Amino acid sequence: MSSNVVIAIGNVLVAALVLFGAVLVLLSAVGAIRLPDVYTRSHAISKSTTLGMMCILLGAFFHFLLENGEFNSRLLLGIVFIFMTSPVAAHLISRAAYYTNVPRWEGTVRDDLKEKAGGK
């Protein structure tokens, strides 16, 4: 295959990753605005924002790899850092909200921590 074809395919891959990541981050913002309580907001934000930011950083990684031939380990470390910290932070925020008795949405069906934590 010609190098121009490889670069064109790479550019399509980069654009798709960045676009997909941007859409996921946009959906996170919509979830943060539309969802009723801190628990559902935290869930929506942590899951889709983590995946969206990972896609955007992976797209940037492939861009620099294909265009400049540079292996950027900082982007890979950023992906690992976001993958490890974002879900943990969302979990801790939700747990802190639960223990400080932040009210849940009235449509909440199940409370798994009620017996374990003595929640309301």
Mean pLDDT of 48-58: 95
- C-alpha dist (Å) from residue 120 to 32, 38, 93, 100: 24, 16, 18, 10
d(CA 107, CA 93): 21
State yes or no: pLDDT of 50 exceeds 90: yes
- pTM for the model: 0.84
Interatomic CA distance for residues 81 and 79, integer angstroms:
5
Q: How many residues does the chain have?
A: 120
Local structure of residue 72 (DSSP, 8 states)? -
CA dist., res. 6 & res. 26, Å (int): 30
Q: What is the pLDDT of residues 65-88, one digit of tens each?
A: 998 889 999 999 999 999 999 999
Give the chain's mean pLDDT: 89
Above pLDDT 90, what percent of the chain?
56
Query: Would you place residue 2 in the very low, low, confident or very high pLDDT band (cuts 50, 70, 90)?
Result: confident
Structure tokens at 112: 């798994």
